[in-house]
Amino acid sequence: MCLLALGEVSQKVAENEKVQQSVEWAKKRASAIAEDERVQKGLEVAKDTGKVVMEKTQQGLEAVKERTREWRAGAGTVWEKGAGSIQRIRTEGVSAMAWRGSARDTLDMAAREELNSRTVS
């Protein structure tokens, strides 16, 4: 019953002459705004700005890609010249110790050497 009454009310509102006039006015106003010269210019400027931003972004991305290629090539030449090296470090003392407290306490080189010399002796 409630849905039926609600349907009737909405139908009466839709048929109301003032409602029809308001809807018609809103449609006319929306089309007038869309056709307004200032609005059209604003839309055109926004499109142009979007294109410029997109082009600048593409140029920036290309520059970053090119720099990355150059850096990679430069890094490769360092290895080819023999300037780069990889060294293996001893991790015995570090792995045996627990990582707690300050870094200075944990990585105390003298204490590790003393520990290593005691275990070797």
Q: What is the DSSP string of 94-118?
A: HHHS---S-HHHHT-HHHHHHHHHH
Instruction: Fill in the DSSP letter of residue 83.
Output: -
Task: Find the length of the chain.
Answer: 121
What pLDDT, on a 0 to 100 scale, did the predictor assign at position 107?
64
Using only C-alpha atoms, the chain has a radius of gyration, in whole angstroms, of 38
**Which of the residues in the chain have pLDDT under 70?**
1-6, 78-79, 82-110, 120-121
Distance, in Å, from the CA atom of 57 to the CA atom of 47, rounded to the nearest integer, reads 15
pTM (predicted TM-score): 0.36
* pLDDT at residue number 36: 83
Residue 64: per-residue pLDDT: 93
Selection from 121, 96, 117, 116 nearest residue 106 by Cα? 96
Distance in Å from the first CA to the final CA of the chain = 98
> What is the pLDDT at residue 72?
81
Sign (positive/negative) of CA torsion 20, 21, 26, 29? positive
Taking alpha carbons only, the member of 97, 121, 119 closest to residue 107 is 97
**pLDDT at residue 1, rounded to an integer:** 47
